[in-house]
Amino acid sequence: MFRSPSFLRLWTGSTASGIATWALPFVLGLAVLERSITAVELGVVLAARTAGFLAAVPVAGVLADRHSRRAVVLWAGLVAGVAAPVIAMGMGRSLVLMATAAAVVGAGQGACRPAFQALTAEVVAEHQRQRANAALTLSVRVTTLVAPGVTALLAVVVDTPVLLVATGVLWLGAALIPPAGADRAPVPGARTRFTADFLDGIREARRHPWFLAGLGALTAVIATGYSATGVVLPLVSRDRYGTEAVLAAALTAYTVGALLGALLMARWKPRHQGWAALAGLACYGFAPLSLLVPAPATAILAAYVLAGVGIELFNVPWFTATQREVDPRMLARVSSLDFLLSYGLAPAGLALIAPAIDHFGAGPVLAACAVVCFAAPAAAALVPSSRGFGTAR
């Protein structure tokens, strides 16, 4: 794949956007440690970024289908690149300025996601897309694994405003580096209202029962399993094992597992890729299950490795099938629906899980979330077209 200059540019731009996306909360966390901002300000800024992301995703989906996907990536990256240094300007001076700039950065991030998905389908030939998607997700996992240490080392010699400016430079790279996509005929009715265009995307998604079933399963796993483990794992690490090392090791184990999963999917094409992908998604259920009862820390690490492998067994075929099966004229809109639901409901899950744990206790909540993680993909697999994620050609 990397012998293709077009894919290399696509991969580099996508990787730059992934690093910039990951870096913002980490760098702001360092700012809290330096007492440049408070924990409350951190929460407000990250919430503003999430709001910007959710607001931009459906708009970008429509725009990327109406116009050039490359142009949407360009403008989204430029907007985020300009806004990132403004967050640094607001540190210690204006929370409103920081939050507004973070919302703009989130909007750039949200606009990039569906546009990059559609641009990948234009740049990469169909028979190479699974390997391309594996390479794209591989860069995200390597970044997650390596970047914290690198950023912490950089923080020793430069302050956090400089690091925030560096994220802006990464966004500029994401804007300028990717290649042009394929020439597309003008979309009929491009002057119709936004709502009508977005509803057309929903109707296109409804034409693919496997997509609706898989998206429902993914949303359920993120809203329950991801949220529950995000709340409970730090508590288990502190209260059961008396150290934060288990928390750090489990998150690293998840990333390592995802890295292995991406490497596997670069080579392996399951005969029934949909069933294999949904089975991989169900593996996340082992994460809350491992926190449910006292067990050696190695059991938790093993569960998180398995969950990481499983999520990439799902992600790579999922993206590949969406690029193959969905009408190319509506690919960005359908992809935006994917990101809007699967990632958009994660904050709602977090907001509900914490009170549920306070009321019912961690054990019952973890058990219920584990059941959902196993049952939702199993239910999705019952949809006939889920076996192969559509009609494989």
pLDDT digits (tens, 9 = 90+) for 147-164: 777 777 777 778 888 989
For residue 270, give the DSSP letter.
Answer: -
DSSP state of 224: I
Residue 145 clears pLDDT 50, i.e. is over it: yes
pTM of the model: 0.87
Residues contacting 157, CB < 8 A, separation 6+: none
H or E, element range at 372: helix 362-381
Helix (H) or strand (E) holding 81: helix 69-90
Q: Give the pLDDT of residue 393.
A: 40
The number of CA neighbours under 13 Å toward the Cβ of 372 is 21
* Rounded Cα gap, residues 372 and 378, in angstroms: 10
For the cut 80, the answer to whether the pLDDT of residue 208 exceeds it is: yes
Determine the Cα–Cα distance for residues 342 and 340; give it in Å rounded to an integer: 6
- Written as one string, the DSSP assignment of 339-363 is HHHHTTTHHHHHHHHHHHHHHH-HH
| Cα dist from 350 to 36, 158, 235, 253, 361, whole Å | 26, 33, 15, 22, 15
Region of residue 390 (left: phi > 0; alpha: psi -120 to 50; beta: else): left
pLDDT at 67: 87
Select the more confidently predicted residue: 358 or 253.
Answer: 253
- The helix (run of H) or strand (run of E) holding residue 78 is helix 69-90
The one-letter amino acid at 96: V
Which of the 8 DSSP states describes residue 329?
A: G
What pLDDT is attached to residue 373? 95
- pLDDT at position 341 is 87
Place of tokens 């991989």: 280
End-to-end CA distance of the chain: 21
Q: Which of 81, 85, 87, 82 is nearest to 100 (CA)?
A: 87
203/217 Cα distance (integer angstroms): 19
pLDDT above 90 (res 27): no
DSSP 127: G
Tell me the residue type at 346. A
Closest to 390 in 3D by CA, of 317, 304, 285? 317
pLDDT of residue 183: 63
Q: Which of 50, 42, 106 is nearest to 344 (CA)?
A: 50
DSSP 177: S
Distances (CA, A) of 153 to 30, 32, 129, 322: 11, 17, 36, 39
- What residue type is assigned to position 343 of the chain? Y
Is residue 277 within 8 A of residue 214, CB to CB? The reply is: yes
Q: What is the pLDDT of residues 81-111, one digit of tens each?
A: 999 999 999 988 889 999 999 999 999 999 9
Quick one: the chain helix, strand, coil %, rounded to 5? 85, 0, 15
